[in-house]
Amino acid sequence: MERTTPPTPAPLRICAVKFLNARPLFRGLVQQPPLNEAGEPLFEVTTALPSDCAQQLRDGACDVALVPVAAYLDNPEWEVVPGVAIGCQGSVETVVLVSEVPLEKIERIHLDDASRSSSLMLRVLLQEDGQAVQWCDAPHGEGSARVRGADAALVIGDAAFGLRSEFAHVYDLGDLWFERTGLPFVFAFWAARPGALTPAHVSALQHTRDRSLEKYAEAIAREYREQKVASGLAALDENHYANYLRKTIRYGLETHQREGLAEFLSRASRLRAGREVVSDDVHEDVIHVQFAGVEAPARLVAARARTQRLNVDEILDRAAAGERIDLAEGIYLYEHADTMALGLAADARRKALHPEGVVSYIVDRNVNYTNVCVTRCKFCNFFVPPGSRQSYVLPREVLAEKFRETEALGGIQILLQGGLNPDLKLAYYEDLFRWTKENFSLRLHALSPTEILHIAQIEGLSVRAVLQRLMAAGMDSLPGGGAEILDDEIRNRISPFKNSTEEWLEVMRQAHLLGMKSTATMVFGFQETSEHILLHFDRIRSLQDETGGFTAFITWPFQADGTRLKLRDDTSPFRYLRMQALARLYLDNVPNLQVSWPTLGPEIGEIALRFGANDFGSVMIEENVVSQAGATFMLTANEIERHIRQAGFTPKRRHMDYTWIEPAMAPTARRGPTGMSAPA
């Protein structure tokens, strides 16, 4: 395809904030301006107060700005630079409420008119406490002079340094937020008008932040102090400023910060809508952040740069014989191989790996212990936000009933998954697991990486420590959910507040290192490209090379009904079969492939056994998440066995780790479990 060279774009006009805490985000843009390929600067830098930054971006006076997150509520079309923010976890020092009287006695608050996020946060917190105060605006920097009697002031930015000694009561808003939510707070991030940022701009902004924190925190602190002194202003010790930059302010926008961000945007939008309670309609929960795209991973660029001619038949022959194919070859197969040829190669590979002609399945029950979730994934129709009247946490007696039924039906395992419920701490899971092991002979295939990360974050523990404690309490293995597409470009679009690719992989790595087994999954149909798909496969394969802990891989198409993800992609069974066949060929080190009949129906499940799969998955005595989005298939063990036989295989029951269940332990399925099926 011919390409015309686009004209060299003008530098982006970027508006930053003068405050000390913003300097690490743009110092490098001024000192060593990043250049584009033509040697032109990528940015033209100006500075303003936080509220003015947002206004300039809104007015088109700049292309990128460091905006208060509160401003994002009015401009959800802005694209945010991933990974970079100004935030805190607990004390922030430079956002304080100062007063001569205790908080509960304050009657009037003078807000700083440079502030957006901090003002809104304060209003949210006081309104939730039921404290009625009068609000008025003060010009930036003048609020503290108006503090007297029951009049307090919100002071933000550099003016807040050193105020602690000057007032009887100083409330740090970072602390107030953390006490209330246990979450970090995010004050500002880089936002841009849609389409303005290229991956080069995003990289430059991330790189500038990284370099500042690695090398220049002291220099920034010194420069700042020197300016203050030169202007005849009082200044603190240089080390105080450097510590502030290095320790107090958090410049990342990783999962935990994003959870704090989601929580704030949610509470703030509720306040502005004049609603006190959480809406039960998740469709009204519009909390969202749209991230700008980042640069493609180096190995993808390398794969794309390969000029050697590829040949479908040759690659398929090698893959069918069990040889490893590389990223470029995988992408090529996805884009060029005939579906039947892919299927034939995958079937040959399946036969080489599983020559016995046996197809396995498991009898277990999917229990969703809570539907409360903080991440608000747009593709999910199951969750409710914290505080919703429709929220539930299954009580012990309900769990006991479900577990007893599972045992009675010959089930050997509980697949336990739920939302990210901030009320459930590690002890909840430990108790639950111990109780399960004491009372039932069921294995626990429990908690996807996303849940493990959430527990680690709310407890302030490492992932490894959480896993160790859960294992000690009785957790047997880890389900591979929450992977969706393991590529941040897609994740940022469909689940901006959820864990990143690397975080997901790291939980799996730690679990495997501790000797636990897990599965790996992929959900497609989010308008991902062949490259995202193959990168997903490649990440699973690399980790499997390292740990060998994945027992099986399962892929299924996204079920869009009723979710907030307004997109249409190819989720047809035809694409599913291609995907599964390619997975069999690319994931040469993952022993088993499961069909996903709950989303596609048993007919396609049966056919999929000829496209590389050797496992029919689970009887799925209960399933809530996918069925909420329109998939409603239920099967009994007898029906599963019939489909396996129809495809020409012998059915056999297994454990999670693919060891066989001795026939004596596997009573022939009684009447189907359909009487207990989840509400569709």
Partner 1 sequence: MPAKDTRRFHQIAEKAREGVPLSLEEGVFLYRYPDLLAVGALANEVRERLHGDRTYFNVNFHINPTNVCEADCKFCSFARLEPSSPQAYTMSVEQVRQKLVERMDQPVTEIHIVNGLHPDLPFEYYLDILRDLKELRPDIHLKAYTAVEIHFFAEKFSMTYEEVLTRLKDAGLGSLPGGGAEIFADRARNKLCKGKADAAQWLEVHRAAHKVGLRTNCTMLYGTVETLEERVDHMIRLRDLQAETGGFQTFIPLAYHPENNALGKLPAPTGVDNLRTYAVGRLMLHNIPHIKAYWIMVGIKTAQIALSFGVDDLDGTVQEEKIYHMAGADTPQAITRTDLVRLIREAGRHAVERTTLYDVRWEDDGAPLPDIRVESSVPFSGHAGRKSLPVLSH
**Rounded distance between C-alpha atoms, residue 191 and residue 64, angstroms:** 6
- Minimal distance, residue 288 CB to partner 1, in Å: 5
Bridge-based pairing state of the strands 83-88 and 250-253: antiparallel
- Minimal distance, residue 289 CB to partner 1, in Å: 10
Q: Which residue number, 437 or 642, has a Cβ lying nearer to partner 1?
A: 642
- Minimal distance, residue 489 CB to partner 1, in Å: 7
Q: Which residue number, 108 or 575, has a Cβ lying nearer to partner 1?
A: 575
Radius of gyration of the chain (CA): 28
What Å distances lie between residue 40 and 15, 35, 191, CA to CA?
18, 5, 22
Q: If we measure between CA atoms, which residue out of 366, 384, 367 comes closest to residue 375?
A: 384
**Rounded distance between C-alpha atoms, residue 535 and residue 541, angstroms:** 10
Q: Which residue number, 503 or 531, has a Cβ lying nearer to partner 1?
A: 531
Q: 153 with 122: CB under 8 angstroms?
A: no
Q: Map the footprint of partner 1 across residues 288-307, applying CB under 8 A.
A: 288, 290, 292-293, 295-296, 300-301, 304
Q: If we measure between CA atoms, which residue out of 330, 357, 299, 313 comes closest to residue 581?
A: 330
Number of residues that bind partner 1 (CB under 8 A): 59
Structure tokens at 615: 């496992």
Q: Which residue number, 56 or 571, has a Cβ lying nearer to partner 1?
A: 571
**Rounded distance between C-alpha atoms, residue 405 and residue 675, angstroms:** 11
Q: Map the footprint of partner 1 across residues 338-377, applying CB under 8 A.
A: 339-341, 343-344, 347
Q: Map the footprint of partner 1 across residues 89-118, applying CB under 8 A.
A: none
Q: Could you give the angle at which helices 573-586 and 530-547 cross, rounded to 10 degrees?
A: 40
What Å distances lie between residue 390 and 387, 401, 668, CA to CA?
9, 21, 38
Q: Identify the H or E element spanning 652.
A: strand 650-653
Q: Map the footprint of partner 1 across residues 577-636, applying CB under 8 A.
A: 577, 600-607, 610-611
Q: Which of 91, 564, 589, 624 binds partner 1 (CB under 8 A)?
A: 564
- Which of 51-59, 335-343, 387-395, 411-419 is the region at the interface with partner 1 (rule: CB under 8 A)? 335-343
Q: 583 with 611: CB under 8 angstroms?
A: no
Amino acid symbol at 239: N
Structure tokens at 354: 């599983």
Judged by CB under 8 A, does residue 312 bind partner 1? no
522: helix, strand or coil: strand
The residue behind tokens 């500002």 is 188
- Minimal distance, residue 485 CB to partner 1, in Å: 11
- Minimal distance, residue 64 CB to partner 1, in Å: 13
Q: Which residue number, 248 or 269, has a Cβ lying nearer to partner 1?
A: 269
- Which of 54-62, 192-200, 227-235, 236-244 is the region at the interface with partner 1 (rule: CB under 8 A)? 192-200
Q: Which residue number, 250 or 258, has a Cβ lying nearer to partner 1?
A: 258
DSSP E strands, 460-513: 477-478
Q: Identify the H or E element spanning 290.
A: strand 290-291
Q: Which residue number, 17 or 328, has a Cβ lying nearer to partner 1?
A: 328
- Minimal distance, residue 303 CB to partner 1, in Å: 9
Q: Which residue number, 22 or 69, has a Cβ lying nearer to partner 1?
A: 69
What are residue 102's phi and psi, to 5 degrees? -65, 155
Per-residue interface string for the shown chain with partner 1, residues 468-507, x marking contact by CB under 8 A: ---------------------xx--xx-------------
194: helix, strand or coil: coil
Per-residue interface string for the shown chain with partner 1, residues 39-78, x marking contact by CB under 8 A: -------------------------------------x--
Structure tokens at 325: 């194919």
Judged by CB under 8 A, does residue 667 bind partner 1? no
Q: Identify the H or E element spanning 423.
A: none
Q: Which of 195, 232, 274, 355 binds partner 1 (CB under 8 A)?
A: 195
Q: Could you give the angle at which helices 449-459 and 255-272 cross, rounded to 10 degrees?
A: 80
- Which of 11-19, 123-131, 334-342, 672-680 is the region at the interface with partner 1 (rule: CB under 8 A)? 334-342
Q: Which residue number, 348 or 424, has a Cβ lying nearer to partner 1?
A: 348
- Minimal distance, residue 344 CB to partner 1, in Å: 5
Sheet of strand 151-156, all strands in order from the earlier edge strand to the far edge:
134-138, 108-112, 151-156, 95-99, 169-172
Q: Which of 104, 307, 515, 568 binds partner 1 (CB under 8 A)?
A: 568
Q: Which of 648, 663, 665, 674 binds partner 1 (CB under 8 A)?
A: 648
Q: 57 with 65: CB under 8 angstroms?
A: yes
Residues in contact with partner 1 by the rule CB under 8 A: 76, 194-195, 197-199, 202, 286, 288, 290, 292-293, 295-296, 300-301, 304, 339-341, 343-344, 347, 378, 489-490, 493-494, 527-531, 564-568, 570, 572-575, 577, 600-607, 610-611, 642-643, 646-648
